[in-house]
Each structure stands twice: as structure tokens, then as C-alpha cells.
């Protein structure tokens, strides 16, 4: 979910830039810098995830400018590293995409909002809801936080992008619905499947890589 150059007007760009900047500052403040500085493995994981995300975002499909669809992967990052490092990692990946010319500089803040911040916060919201309402169970965490959470993140990011394009008058809602919104359910399932497969492998072989998953609570005490 990303925009090309010249689609969004200045007012919406400034609003998205302000919100994105506030979220980035909050992420910078909340990120576990002391742990990150002392854990070389965590540094390698974060760098590898950022590069992998950047490569994945180069593969996309769409008809009209701004109505492209691609895998997000932000749910996996949020569950692995927490919302703060996930937002920072996603922003760095998007910065890399912009530097190599796959994204435009003038819509960078909107792309950060729709492709990074919104899906990360949506994934965090699902995680917090699951923790508060459902039992601490390995399969509950896997299916609700990874599979379902990734689908919710995709839907949230897509709808924010669609509403932004509609509110700014870039396209009429009928065009947005026909070329974008009605295809969101089709990408929600593969997004959930992709994130679920990745999380399943990590939960089985490297649960210590997942910041939001405590094996003592989800496995040992069952």
C-alpha cells in the first residue's frame, strides 16, 4: 500500500508527516536501545528483517497509481520486535525503497503511515486484545495474533489508503472500490498465511526471537 509522486495534496501530506513524525519519535523513545546495543544477535535479526521487508515490498500489483497491493509483513515484525522496533525497521525499509527509486520522496510520510504505522498498530491492537480476552495458548497466539492479526493489519492499511485517496479527491469512491477495496479480502488471506508460516517456524525453533511470545506462559504452564 504505497503512493506515487504527486497524488496527495499538501494538506494531507503535512498531516500525515506530523502524525508519522510523532509516532517515530515515540518509537525512538520506547525502543529497547540498551538491549539492542548489547545483543549482537538481535542487531543481526533486525537488520535481516529490514532488508527482507524491503525486498518483499518491491513485488507489487495494481492498475492505477496509488492503488497497488503488496505483502506488508509488518505483523511478523511487530510480534518479533515489538511495535517500536517494527515501526523503525519498516521506516528504514521504506527509506531504502525511496533511495533506490521505488517510492517517491514527496509521499514518504503517507507511505510510512499506511505501510508501516497503521499495520503495526493494528497488529499491536489484536495482540493486546488477545492477551486481555483469550487464554494464553500456543495456538491462540499463532492463529489470532499471526494469521488473523496480519489480515486485520492488511485491511486497516488498505482502508486508510483508500479513504485518504477518496478524501483528497484523487479518485471517486467507485473507482477505488472496483480497483482496490474489493480485492483487499483476497490479499488478507495470503498475508495472514505468510505471516503465520513465518511465525510458526520461529515459535517452533526459535521462540526466543519473538519479543511478544513467552514460552513459559504459552507452553510450559499449559
The CATH code that applies to domain 10-220 is: 1.10.1760.20
Reading the block at residue 159, the C-alpha cell is 482502508
Q: Where are the domains of the chain?
A: 10-220
In the chain, DSSP finds a helix count (H) and a strand count (E) of 11, 2
Q: What is the mean pLDDT of residues 13-32?
A: 92
Identify the pLDDT of residue 168: 81
Q: What is the mean pLDDT of residues 169-182?
A: 85
**CA-to-CA distance for 28 and 121, rounded, in angstroms?**
15
**CA-to-CA distance for 164 and 171, rounded, in angstroms?**
10
Residue 81 CA to its chain's centroid (Å): 12
State which of 60-74, 78-92, 154-168 shows the largest mean pLDDT.
78-92
53 pLDDT higher than 60: yes
More confident residue, 178 or 81: 81
Identify the pLDDT of residue 100: 85
Rounded-to-10 torsion of CA 192, 183, 12, 117: 0
> Which band of pLDDT confidence, cut at 50, 70 and 90, is reported for residue 102?
confident
Identify the pLDDT of residue 85: 96
Give the 3-state secondary structure of residue 144: helix
Question: What number of other Cβ atoms are within 10 A of residue 150's Cβ?
Answer: 33
In angstroms, the Cα distances linking 143 to 42, 88, 125, 127 are 25, 25, 15, 11
Amino acid at each position: 500500500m504505497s503512493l506515487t509522486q504527486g497524488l496527495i495534496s499538501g494538506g494531507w501530506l503535512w498531516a500525515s508527516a506530523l502524525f508519522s513524525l510523532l509516532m517515530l519519535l515515540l518509537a525512538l523513545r520506547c525502543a529497547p536501545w540498551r538491549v539492542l546495543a548489547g545483543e549482537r544477535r538481535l542487531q543481526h535479526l533486525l537488520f535481516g528483517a529490514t532488508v527482507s521487508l524491503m525486498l518483499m515490498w518491491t513485488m507489487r500489483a495494481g492498475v492505477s497509481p496509488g492503488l497497488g497491493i503488496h505483502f506488508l509483513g509488518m505483523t511478523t515484525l511487530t510480534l518479533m520486535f515489538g511495535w517500536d522496533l517494527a515501526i523503525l525497521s519498516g521506516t528504514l525499509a521504506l527509506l531504502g525503497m525511496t533511495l533506490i527509486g521505488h517510492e517517491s520522496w514527496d509521499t514518504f510520510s503517507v507511505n510510512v503511515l499506511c505501510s508501516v504505522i497503521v499495520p503495526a498498530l493494528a497488529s499491536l491492537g489484536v495482540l493486546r486484545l488477545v492477551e486481555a480476552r483469550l487464554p494464553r495458548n500456543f495456538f491462540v497466539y499463532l492463529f489470532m495474533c499471526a494469521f488473523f492479526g496480519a489480515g486485520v493489519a492488511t485491511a486497516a492499511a488498505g482502508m486508510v489508503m483508500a479513504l485518504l485517496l477518496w478524501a483528497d479527491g484523487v479518485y471517486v469512491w467507485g473507482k477505488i472500490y472496483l480497483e482496490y477495496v474489493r480485492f483487499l479480502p483476497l490479499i488478507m488471506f495470503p498475508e495472514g498465511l505468510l505471516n503465520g508460516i513465518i511465525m510458526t517456524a520461529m515459535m517452533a525453533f526459535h521462540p526466543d526471537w519473538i519479543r511478544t511470545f513467552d514460552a513459559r506462559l504459552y507452553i510450559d504452564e499449559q
